[in-house]
Amino acid sequence: MGTALVIGEALVDVVRRTDGTVDSHPGGSPANVAIGLARLGRDVELLTWLGADAHGSAVRAHLEASGVRLAPGSESAPRTSVATATLDATGAATYDFDLTWEVAGDAAPTTEPVVVHTGSIAAVIEPGGADVARLLEAARAHATVTYDPNARPALMGDPEHARAIVEGIVATADVVKVSDEDISWLTGGADVDAIARGWAGTGPALVVVTRGGDGATAFVADGREISVPAPSVEVADTVGAGDSFMGGLIDGLWGADLLGASRREALHAVDDATVTAVLERCARIGAITVSRPGANPPSSAELGEG
């Protein structure tokens, strides 16, 4: 079966809704991906940066409830980070952050993973970003590397600077999931499909672009393009939808025996039917997530798989 290592931020999300209500719950894009994978039955470790405080305790309990283990070195932060999401009338979120990110010097997974995932803030901001890049490069010897840029403009600063970092990680990755909105922000409104095609030519086997209610498209390294629609659903909010999709993407490729460095050639040669089946399941997972408040990815049982 193997294990997954997810590297990146785990934090507390404070959500402000249009009706004036405010609530808080654990979040962070990489942490959400780890939880999504664990709920789908995968063995997952999260390498993150938590403090010994009330917020850190809440995050730890949340991760443990879904079966996610913390990798050694994950609990050395001076405080646990906080992200504030403000929802608009459509349920879409904008974010503000009180965040620090580092990788502890002794941080390491307890087992050699078959897949290593990172994304969002942790892959870009310093001092931890350079360490994440180093860990990903080392992981390629034994693992599939997956990446979701998951842009956060409030923290990532100048889009041109962020794009240089993002595209460096894209070239290292085997699988990239990115939203059309993220590409637009990173590139100043360039043609989304053209950018995705370009990224697919720099190293990844797959670059998957998500388009919200308009579905998703996989751009394969050999030039194929495979699209699927999004299920129609009443949206509660979009918090964590992309992370749930990402977890489903990793899990689907895992189930197709396409993860691990030894399967890199097979991943590049993946057939259309497999990509379509994986993407359709990812779209269903994302639809379930947006149908209920917060980052709450479905379990295998909810998908009728266990």
pLDDT at 294 > cutoff 90: no
pLDDT, mean of residues 184-196? 97
Q: Report how far residue 14's alpha carbon sits from residue 2's, in angstroms, rounded to the nearest whole number.
A: 34
pLDDT at 96: 79
Q: Does residue 96 belong to any structural domain of this protein?
A: yes
> What is the per-residue pLDDT across 69-97, written as a single tens digit (0 to 9) for each?
999 999 999 999 988 878 888 878 787 77
Number of folded domains that form the chain: 1
Q: Does residue 167 belong to any structural domain of this protein?
A: yes
Q: Which of 200, 41, 9 is nearest to 123 (CA)?
A: 9
Q: Does residue 299 belong to any structural domain of this protein?
A: no
Q: Does residue 203 belong to any structural domain of this protein?
A: yes
> pLDDT band at residue 306, thresholds of 50, 70 and 90?
low
Q: Please give the distance of CA 284 from its chain centroid, rounded to a whole number.
A: 16
> What is the per-residue pLDDT across 113-165, written as a single tens digit (0 to 9) for each?
999 999 999 999 999 999 999 999 999 999 999 999 999 888 888 999 999 99
> pLDDT band at residue 4, thresholds of 50, 70 and 90?
very high
Q: Does residue 301 belong to any structural domain of this protein?
A: no
pLDDT at 47: 97
Q: Does residue 295 belong to any structural domain of this protein?
A: no
> What is the per-residue pLDDT across 37-55, written as a single tens digit (0 to 9) for each?
999 999 999 999 999 999 9
What is the length of the chain? Answer: 306
pLDDT at 237: 79
Q: Does residue 300 belong to any structural domain of this protein?
A: no
pLDDT at 241: 92
Contact (CB, 8 A) for 29 and 6: no
> What residues pair up with 209 in beta bridges, in sequence order?
178, 217
pLDDT at 239 > cutoff 90: no
Structure tokens at 17: 């809704």
Q: Does residue 256 belong to any structural domain of this protein?
A: yes
Structure tokens at 256: 């197709």
pLDDT, mean of residues 242-255? 97
pTM: predicted TM-score of the whole model, two decimal places:
0.93
CATH code where residue 186 lies: 3.40.1190.20
Over pLDDT 70: what percentage of the chain? 100
What's the domain range around 170? 4-290
pLDDT at 295 > cutoff 70: yes
Contact (CB, 8 A) for 152 and 97: yes
Average pLDDT value over all residues in the chain = 94
